[in-house]
Amino acid sequence: MPVVSHSSTPLYVDWAQRYEIVRKVGAGGFAEVYEAYDRKLERPVALKVIADRPGMSGRVVREVEAAASLAHPGIVALYDFFGDGERSFLVWEFVEGQPLAAALGELGDADAAHVGEELAEALAYAHSQGVIHRDIKPQNVMIDDEGRAKLMDFGIARLMDAQTLTSEGDVLGTVAYMSPEQASSRRIGPASDVYSLGIVLYELLAGFNPVRGHTPAETMANVVAGRIEPLEEVRPDLPRGLTDAVAAAIETEAAERPSAAAVAAELRAALESGRLGHGRLQAWRVLRPLQRFAVLGERAVGAGLAAVVSAVLLSRFATYPESWTLPVMALSAALWFVVPQLGLAWLLGVLAFPVFAVSFSLGVVYIVGAVALYWLTRGRPLVALWPALAVLLVPVYATLLAPAGAAVFGRLRGPLVAAWAGAGTLFYLLLERVSRSPYTGFQPRGHLATQLQAAGNPLTAAYRVLAVTLSGPSLLQMAVWAGLALAVTFTLSLRPMLVRLWAWSLSMCLVFVLYRVVPIRLWDYRVSLSALLAGVSVLAVVVLFAVVFDVGQRPEERRDERP
């Protein structure tokens, strides 16, 4: 089909004699779409009707020019175009099916990856023909009755060799799917389509758009700043190859994104790995609406821990008047709930004065450690208080839930948080002289609190803190807890339920063996067997619940279905 070279559509006054309107199927800001019947060729078509008004004819021509140069099974075909003097008509291939937007939340992981692969292949073809779509979004993708994805609506596309719509300052497309360069009104290229495709795929897999804010301005700011939660943290059960492909597609810098063809290849490899499920209703999709309250819940947990930490530590030091305890608790909780970073800074500051009252040397070490802790955890302040959660769970034999729960921080950050909690828990128990605990690992020879108080200078105090932190039992605890966080993440990423259960049972057994055998062999430390069994049992039950509940329909279960 020749590329259109003029600015108005061909005049065809008697169009109604050829095309019979069947029903209206959709409408947008400037066009209406009807299902029609082509009497001449005896086939259904989609008739897009655009009212002629200032500036609209150029958009019609661009859509026709772009579509006329494309012939691909993944792109809705343009059959004809004309006008009647008042309106422009575009006759498209009619796709029996539904828009991708209507299928959000219904596609299984494999189906979502398959849709992404087909769209990536269609975009790779369009880019090879010199066409950039510029408006990739679920509303512009049709899923036909056979499950194939078809890209449509090239209304704001541009030809790479054209001079129209290329100047900086133009902002076209839907905000929540725009690339950073498009949102910033900079010149765009094929990488912009790749970004939009990545956002669509993220939404299919996570159940929500990662940049959408409460207002268009907030959404635009999120896009430009690249404020996107990594997909691997939202869906740690997905194969790493799939999450990496999405992460690469939504890189903030256009030059760092792969081509559409490369994205298609990565998605194809993820599908061929056989680790993606096909179920329409997975447990995480049921629970996902509750995760809208995740930020609020995390702040509430942090506020509660801040209040408890301030109360416990202030009761240990007689520095502040007893009547201050309740106000300090309330203020710590309130500040944390409103602005967690401010709450963390306040809590660390409140505790500085009592530590200096014990020992100036210890106070100096505390200030250095507090500044480092704030700097490292300011992005996720709850991490700083994770050891406090572990300590609070000691009396109910649930301490090991802290490292297991650290998996919620992601497969990379989770083990680090768990290790930090392990070291912090051991340090606190030694300060309190709770030596007969599974989480100390050895019988201490002296009173750690007395040793720190007697330190004559900051270097000595720092040395004694590091000596405990880097001791064999502490390193063992950090390694076991970090491994436990990794084991939980890995177990939940497995697909067949039987394999999950084996991974769960082996992980629980390994934790028990390490805590029971290693301290005896290395330090002749025999902890109460009943306490260790109780702790591992509580952990095993809670993790088993997560393993069984986070299931969904697996590929092998799908094959066994009967109509």
How far, in Å, CA of 288 to CA of 552, rounded?
Answer: 14
How far apart are alpha carbons 270 and 432 in whole angstroms? 51
For tokens 């929540």, what's the residue? 176
135 is known as an active-site residue: yes
The whole-angstrom separation of Cα 381 and Cα 339 is 10
DSSP string for 543-562: HHHHHHHS----HHHHHT--
Q: At how many degrees (to 10) do helices 497-523 and 529-549 cross?
A: 160
**106 alpha-carbon distance from chain centroid:** 18
Cα Rg of the chain, angstroms:
30
- Residue from 77, 11, 3, 2 nearest 44 by CA: 77
CA gap 259, 231 in Å, rounded = 20
Burial track 410-436 (b if 16+ CB lie within 10 A, e otherwise): bbebbbbbbbbbbbbbbbbbbeeeeee
Q: Which stretches of 28-154 are assigned E, i.e. beta strand?
A: 31-38, 43-51, 78-83, 87-93, 97-99, 131-132, 141-144, 149-151
Instruction: Report residue 122 as tokens.
Output: 């269609």
Question: Between helices 497-523 and 472-493, what is the axis angle to 10°?
Answer: 170
Q: What is the helix (H) or strand (E) element at residue 492, kind and residue range?
A: helix 472-493
Q: How far apart are CA 448 and CA 333, in angstroms?
A: 30
Distance CA 263, CA 248 (A): 9
Alpha-carbon torsion (295, 100, 201, 177), positive or negative: negative
Structure tokens of 262? 């490369």
Angle at 532 between CA 530 and CA 533, to 5 degrees: 65
User: In this structure, is the dihedral angle defined by the CA atoms of residues 491, 492, 495 and 501, taken in order, positive or negative?
Assistant: positive
Which residues, at least 6 apart from 476, have a Cβ–Cβ distance to it below 8 Å? 441, 514, 518, 519
Catalytic residue among 80, 111, 135, 153: 135
Taking the C-alpha atoms of residue 420 and residue 477, their distance in angstroms, rounded to an integer, is 10
Which residues belong to the active site? 135
